[in-house]
Amino acid sequence: MWLLVFLVSFLIGVGTTFWYLFGRQSPFTVDSVRDPEPMELDQKKRDKVLKQGFTREKVPQSLDAIVIGSGIGGMTAAATIAKLGKRVLVLEQHDQAGGCCHTFTEKGFEFDVGLHYIGQLHENSFFRIVMDQITEGQLQFVELDKHFDTIIIGTGEEQRKYTIYMGKTEMEEHLKKQFPNDVKAVEEFFKIMKISARKTPFLAGLKLIPQWLALFLLRSGIADLLSPVFRLIGSSATEVADILTSNKDLQIIFAYFFYGVPPRDSSSLINALLLHHYKRGAYYPRGGASEIPFHITKVIQKYGGNVLVRAPVTRVLVDSKGAAYGVSVKKGQEEVEVRAPIIISNCGIFNTFKRLLPPEIQAKPEIQKRLDMMKPGQGSLLVFSGFDATAEELGINSTNLWLFNNNDMDAMMDDFFSLEKDEAPDNIPMMFITFPSAKDPTSKIRHPGKTCMTIMTMVNYEWFEEWKDTTVKKRGDDYMDYKMRFANNLFDWACMYFPKLREKLVFQEVATPLTNVHFLGAYRGAMYSAEHNLERFHIEVMAKNRCDTPVKNLFISGQDVFSCGIAGALHGGLLCASIALGHIVYIDLFLLKKKLKRRKAREMAALAKKLQ
């Protein structure tokens, strides 16, 4: 009798698990991807998609989900849910959709805000399949030059220049040629990159299985037996680099994608993933970064949803039982309630828990514990420059530059972030330079004879905090003078490498952390959201930092779920959709990837047979 009960229970468990993993409709299909339509160049028609203002009448009836924020994490979650035939409403506080993927145009110059280049978009890659699915094949990409990044360390006679090449084997081999005495160190780092890329799904799995099970696997040591990735993510980038090599220049190469955290306090796995991301190529959206929200919005609308802007969410509505059931949107002087059974916040954990939840919910210990897992990220400052000249006339191309004053990144960042407000503009230790118009061939058609440059560096929010209560565009002369000190020093540094820029400059604008707060809704101006320090990537914190929250029906998406950047935020959206739907969409994507690879193999076999 007991044996029969056990067998029945086992079969029910297996059946339930199989149904949970494979038995439900997939939002992703081969047939949903169609040939790209001609690019929409009419700005008025584009604005009807990207700048549709919030009104009660534009809110779809019988909503299935509401997403707060139209960054790539929120839009990925929204499109994934929508493709199951559900009505999703995305609400954006800015006047156009896209978050860090939006662009803005001033004086005939178009600038990207947070998307500078993307990797892992080669044919049938996981990331490419996701992008194709959430835009239904309408998003096209341009592959950048093989030499996609240049790293310059030091100034004057002490300057050293290193080049980073894309390519499955070329990236490693090219780096070895530049560091002939550190071949072994390069090989070991690329092994770490390989482990990081292949085993990262284990880390995502921690957020998809029940929390008690994840913690059991970690605390029992079983997880470490499965993969070294669980130890690697908590290892300091500086610690690992010191083991590999004493060459400080090479150590910079291992961690040159700065995001506000010194290598000493950052995860070696995250830094390895960032470089691996471009191993098979660096790409840029054809038509600019705003093509991403433009096409995702159309997919959401296709299934009965909508994306509305000028729709600041003031609070998440929570019932007496502690469950979220809607949001309140400010429209003029009134508050409009919009309801749905699923609420997804893509505006960051601090904005969500500190600003959108009722005070009595914020005060709950379980909410405070989630907040204590993270700290606010570093602010960023961007300089947008426009030139009346072509890329050829300026002597530029699609290659990005990363500049460092010296090769001790930990000391540089420590010293800079400890400076007083007045000292900071004259002591900038590092910056990133990119030319978006040189990456996009359609820019020559859409903005002929014009070139754009974006410079980025990291800054303290506190240096700008005295102006936080002023109005955008009306912050006063002292604010303008202060931010232009940063801009002038950064621009002068750029002109050392591109001397033709100065005489062709006709437009310049500077975005500070306060700008990021206003336009992006970024907490304390942090474009990369919560700080990506070692405490955040402690493996048990990773297991506990999940998409579901202590508030029933409220979920978190975006960069705070997994990691920073476009790819990190997109995975945050996929993880969030999986939890909100109770259906692991990653399995659907992996099965789709296998199907596409088989189809490609058949096509290649047929072609080979035909040629014979």
Q: How does the average pLDDT of the chain come out, rounded?
A: 94
Q: What domains sit in the chain, N to C, each tagged with a CATH number?
A: 43-102+290-373+530-581 (3.50.50.60), 106-123+131-166+278-286+378-527 (3.90.660), 172-270 (no CATH)
Beta bridge partners of 431: 403
Question: The tokens of 288 are what?
Answer: 């600019």
pLDDT > 80? residue 10: no
| CB-count exposure of residue 149 (10 Å: 0-12, 13-18, 19+) | buried
**Stretch 544-564: mean pLDDT, rounded?**
96
Q: What is the band of 611 on the pLDDT scale with cuts at 50, 70, 90?
A: confident
Tens of pLDDT, residue by residue over 135-161, are: 999 999 999 999 999 999 998 888 999
Q: What angle do CA 150, 153, 155 make, to 5 degrees?
A: 120
Count the residues in the chain. 612
Q: What angle do CA 422, 428, 429 make, to 5 degrees?
A: 145
Tens of pLDDT, residue by residue over 21-34, are: 555 799 999 999 99
Q: What is the band of 603 on the pLDDT scale with cuts at 50, 70, 90?
A: confident
| Rounded Cα gap, residues 16 and 366, in angstroms | 30
The number of helices, as runs of H, and strands, as runs of E, in the chain is 26, 20
**Stretch 179-189: mean pLDDT, rounded?**
97
How confident is the model at residue 272, as a pLDDT? 96
**Stretch 519-527: mean pLDDT, rounded?**
94
Q: Please answer whether residues 153 and 159 qualify as being in contact, where contact means their C-beta atoms are separated by less than 8 angstroms.
A: yes
How confident is the model at residue 120, as a pLDDT? 94
**Where do the H-state alpha helices sit in 427-500?**
436-439, 443-446, 477-495
Please report which helix (H) or strand (E) contains residue 394, including its range: helix 391-394
| Rounded Cα gap, residues 555 and 416, in angstroms | 36
pLDDT > 90? residue 581: yes
Tens of pLDDT, residue by residue over 339-353, are: 999 999 999 999 999
Residue 493 carries which DSSP code?
H
| b/e burial code for range 442-458 (CB count within 10 A of at least 16 → b) | bbeebbeebbbbbbbbb
Residue closest to 141 by CA, chosen among 370, 416, 442, 365: 442
Tens of pLDDT, residue by residue over 274-313, are: 999 999 999 999 999 999 999 999 999 999 999 999 999 9
pLDDT > 80? residue 75: yes
Q: What is the band of 80 on the pLDDT scale with cuts at 50, 70, 90?
A: very high
How confident is the model at residue 609, as a pLDDT? 84
Among 11-25, 468-482, 543-557, the least confident range: 11-25
| Cα torsion 183, 187, 192, 193: sign | positive
Residue 449 has phi, psi (to 5 degrees) of: 75, 10
HEC secondary structure over 240-308: HHHHHCCCHHHHHHCCCCCCCCCHHHCEHHHHHHHHHCCCCCEEEECCCCCHHHHHHHHHHHHCCCEEE
Radius of gyration of the chain (CA): 24
| Rounded Cα gap, residues 570 and 75, in angstroms | 8
How confident is the model at residue 23, as a pLDDT? 55
**Stretch 212-225: mean pLDDT, rounded?**
94
| Rounded Cα gap, residues 252 and 235, in angstroms | 17
| Helix (H/G/I), strand (E/B), else coil: 88 | strand
Beta bridge partners of 382: 456, 511
Q: How far is CA 454 from CA 68, 208, 386, in A?
A: 28, 38, 9
| Rounded Cα gap, residues 517 and 524, in angstroms | 6
Q: What is the band of 315 on the pLDDT scale with cuts at 50, 70, 90?
A: very high
How confident is the model at residue 22, as a pLDDT? 52
pTM (two decimals): 0.94
Tens of pLDDT, residue by residue over 255-280, are: 999 999 999 999 999 999 999 999 99
Residue closest to 500 by CA, chosen among 392, 386, 385, 395: 395
Please report which helix (H) or strand (E) contains residue 452, including its range: strand 451-459
pLDDT > 70? residue 473: yes
- Chain centre distance of CA 179: 31
| Rounded Cα gap, residues 73 and 520, in angstroms | 13
Residue 433 has phi, psi (to 5 degrees) of: -120, 130
Residue 565's CB: how many other CB atoms inside 10 A? 25
pLDDT > 60? residue 333: yes
Among 2-11, 44-53, 222-231, 338-347, the least confident range: 2-11
Tens of pLDDT, residue by residue over 355-391, are: 999 999 999 999 999 999 999 999 999 999 999 999 9
